[in-house]
């Protein structure tokens, strides 16, 4: 069915969707779907999703797929990072000659404006693990 606005259908709908901020979008290269959420979808959705994954794996089975390690992260202000987050990034703090706290990146360079600069830092995952059971759906707030 043609778009009632007269616009042509996109030939890259998944890219278009993931190029905007979307839950589970992991930068430009990956999409993460929490297993607990996928397993909590209605049965018909799970059947369709399973079929799509099977088709994907069949079509791209010739690639050497690695195992992936996924960790939750958010863009946080550098000044708000705790010691564990700084350690995970390879960053550290030191006292500057004038006595204020100075943040240093993994290369040892001082971080300018830690009160306004945000970095992708590890956080505790707010999505329950698959072992927690069903995650009840709730519509996202309208924007």
Q: Is the pTM of this model over 0.85?
A: no
Which residues of the chain carry a pLDDT beneath 50? none
pLDDT given at position 143 = 66
The 10s digit of each residue's pLDDT in 9-37 is 789 998 888 888 888 888 788 899 999 99
- Report phi then psi at 51, rounded to 5: -60, -40
Q: CA-CA distance, 125 to 135, in Å (whole number)?
A: 14
């Amino acid at each position: 069915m043609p778009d009632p606005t007269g616009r042509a259908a996109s030939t890259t709908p998944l890219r278009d969707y993931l190029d905007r901020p979307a839950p589970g979008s992991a930068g430009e290269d990956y999409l993460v779907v929490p297993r607990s959420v996928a397993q909590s979808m209605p049965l018909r959705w799970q059947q369709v999703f399973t079929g799509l994954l099977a088709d994907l794996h069949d079509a791209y089975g010739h690639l050497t797929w690695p195992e992936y390690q996924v960790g939750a992260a958010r863009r946080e202000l550098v000044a708000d990072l705790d010691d564990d987050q700084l350690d995970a990034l390879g960053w550290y703090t030191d006292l500057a000659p004038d006595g204020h706290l100075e943040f240093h990146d993994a290369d040892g360079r001082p971080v300018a404006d830690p009160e306004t600069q945000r970095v992708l830092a590890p956080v505790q995952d707010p999505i329950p693990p698959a072992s927690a059971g069903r995650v009840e759906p709730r519509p996202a707030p309208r924007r």
